[in-house]
Amino acid sequence: MTASATLILLMAVLYAVGITVMLERSLTRVLIGFMLVGNATNLLILLVSGPNGTAPIVTGTVSDEGMADPVPQVLMLTAIVINFGLTAFVLALIYRSWWLAQLGDQGDSVPDQHHGETEAATDATFDAVDLDDAALQKILADSDEHPDAHNRGMEGER
């Protein structure tokens, strides 16, 4: 397989646009840049992988000469997995920054269940799962919509 000038040009454009977009301040643009650079890397591996060949299954025969090299295929799969992992991580960062931006001055502060007060944003705490479950059970026990939750909440207090 000879490298097509179109694929080489497309790879160069993807790298250029991806790196340019990654330099922006917006996390969404950084994500798009990572994805473009990942796709350009896959094109680069495809272009340098060599000529087409038969499946590399048979060994020790005359047909060994025409076999394709499996290493570029493995590298492409690895690049796809790494790109997917980075995409998931940056998406989590984007969601977290959006969530914190929506909270505003409140930040990560959690209201105190006992006194009805709110902790300062600088003293943000994360309650343990069992404390959250206990608060949820208490709310369900106080409501009359879930009578069986009231019984479970009373058993937990004993």
Task: Provide the pLDDT for residue 4.
Answer: 85
**Distances in Å between the alpha carbon of 51 and those of 2, 7, 45, 86?**
7, 15, 12, 31
pLDDT one-digit tens code per residue, 93-114:
999 888 888 776 666 665 555 5
- Cβ burial 118-145 (10 Å sphere, 16+ → b, else e): eeeeeeeeeeeeeeeebeebbebbeeee
Residues 6+ apart with CB under 8 A from 32: 18, 21
pLDDT digits (tens, 9 = 90+) for 66-103: 777 888 889 999 999 999 999 999 999 999 888 888 77
Domains in the chain: boundaries: 5-106, 127-157
Would you state the pLDDT for residue 8?
92
Spatial CB neighbours of 118, under 8 Å, sequence gap ≥ 6: 106, 109, 111, 112
Please tell me which residue, 147 or 139, carries the higher pLDDT value: 139
**Residue 46 C-alpha from the chain's centroid:** 25
Architecture of domain 5-106: Orthogonal Bundle (1.10)
Q: pLDDT, tens digit, for every residue of 2-26?
A: 678 899 999 999 999 999 999 988 8
Share of the chain above pLDDT 90, in %: 32
Per-residue pLDDT for 150 more than 60?
Answer: no
Give the chain's length. 158
| pLDDT of the residue at 123 | 43
Q: What backbone phi and psi angles, to 5 degrees, belong to 95? A: -65, -45
More confident residue, 40 or 128: 40
